Structure 1
Amino acid sequence: MIEYFDRGAIVTSSLCAEVMKKMRNEIRKKRQGKLEKVLLFHQDNASAHRSAIAVAAIRDAGFEILKHSPYSLSLAPSNFFLFPRLKENVKEQRFEDNAAVVAAVQEFLGAQDEEFFKKIILSYKKFILKVYYNKCDYVEK
């Protein structure tokens, strides 16, 4: 599931809660009764994401929230693993409008095979375990 927002849109706790509900519904549709384990959820440390409303929505959706290391700023999954690859793909391109940006992102993601996403998830898992074994203290990439 990918959620796009207009340029300048403000991400509020209510918006985060709405996206959590959509994500849970998408996962339920895709997994169709195969969802037996608790899903772990990790996000960046933005205040809208940490608000009581957003945290309640995350838990209501059935996710277990992974603790965020207060000193490791680069732990946001998308920032740490996906965005660098996406940015490399679109560097030096000029986009006429938001629709062109969305199209470029969709084209990039659609061109990736399952192995691409598996590598990202495994790299992220390895890094999170490093943080965990370091007792959530700061670690370098």
Structure 2
Amino acid sequence: MKGGDPTESILRDQKRSGRPLSASNAANQKAVDRMILSNRRIKQKYIAKELEISKERVQHIITDILGDRKVSARCVPRMLTDEMKMQRKPTCAELLKHYEQEGEEFIQRIVTGDKSWVHHYDLKIKRQSMEYGHKSSPSSRKFKVVASARKVMLTVFWDSERIDHIQFLKQGNTVNSEWYISTLRKLSARLKRMRHTKHAILHHDNARPHTSRQTEEALHKMNFVVLPHPSYSPELASSDFYLFPKLKKHLRGIRGNHYESDEDVEAAVRHWFRQKCVDFFTDGMRQLVRRWQLCVDRDGDYVE
């Protein structure tokens, strides 16, 4: 620059080092992908520190560029063998056939029931096992663990409109065929008072008290038609994949509720059920049909 300060010209024209124009460049993308593949539970702040970029850029690379998402592991009772899958697929195909023939009336006749421990408190949540995965990555699985010792067993039967029967069994009592038959008699009496349609179709899992010869004879005398249910298939039972998870999420609360007694737990459960509208129960039953179809489509493998 003629007549100007030569020092100013040098400072203005020289190339300067510094941060790249974009922290989301190809090199950082590959580095982030490599770090996630080596440790799927890696934290964004650790990636940002290693690459010397902001957490905002790390989030952008992970979600918007790589398309990864952090998901929880699924609880499954056991790894399915080929024989188990071959049992699950035709069972679901048979149930879908009934639904196609009878439509919504088939769903309206189903009364599903199951048992579950309801804890005074439960500090373990699925978010603790969340890890990153690509859109096409299979979801990871974790196996069930023992929760807190203070608990009460909830047994509930429900249909597409309401709760049909609910009762609690305190810890230390025995769940056997005699107890289950007594519960079924109470359910049958309540259904006769509440329903004005065809006989109910009972849907329960293959626990021993449900499938013993004594129970089967009692079901026949009470005119129950039992819906087939494949073994090791909690994700095909509406209570397991729909009702119980939503109930326990509510009982846990945002910061974790602690109940002082069994009576407090029972009161909280009954109150939550009373708040549910018909659409809540209808949605749970309709999701059952969708899961039957998914099981068939996946050749009998576990359904998300």
Q: Same fold (TM over 0.5)?
A: yes
Distance 1:130-1:57 versus aligned 2 partners, 3 A rule: farther
Pair 1:79-2:240 in alignment:
yes
Structure 2 distance, partners of 1:48, 1:55, is 10
Pair 1:61-2:225 in alignment:
no
Amino acid at match of 2:274: G
- The aligned counterpart of 1:70 is 231
Moved more, 73-82 or 113-122: 73-82
Q: Do 1:7 and 1:98's aligned partners in 2 also have CA atoms closer than 8 Å?
A: no
Q: Which has the higher strand share?
A: 2
Q: Shift of the alpha carbon at 1:103?
A: 0.4
Structure 2 distance, partners of 1:137, 1:7, is 35
TM-score (norm 1): 0.84
Q: Shift of the alpha carbon at 1:73?
A: 3.6
Pick one of 51, 74, 93 that aligns with 2:212. Answer: 51
Structure 1 distance, partners of 2:294, 2:203, is 15
- The aligned counterpart of 1:137 is 300
How many equivalent residue pairs? 136
SS in 2 for 1:5: strand
- The aligned counterpart of 1:123 is 287
Unpaired segments of 5 or more residues in structure 2? 1-164
Unpaired segments of 5 or more residues in structure 1? none
Q: Quote the RMSD (CA, aligned, Å).
A: 2.0
Structure 1 distance, partners of 2:199, 2:293, is 18
Post-superposition Cα deviations, 1:50-80, rounded to whole Å, max 9, x if no partner, equal 1111222222222211111124243333122
SS in 2 for 1:3: strand
Moved over 4 A (4+): none
- The aligned counterpart of 1:10 is 174
Matches within 5 A, 1:68-107: 68-91=229-252, 92-107=256-271
How much identity, in percent, do the aligned residues show? Answer: 26
Q: Do 1:44 and 1:76's aligned partners in 2 also have CA atoms closer than 8 Å?
A: yes
Q: Shift of the alpha carbon at 1:130?
A: 4.7
Amino acid at match of 2:201: L
Q: Which has the higher helix share?
A: 1
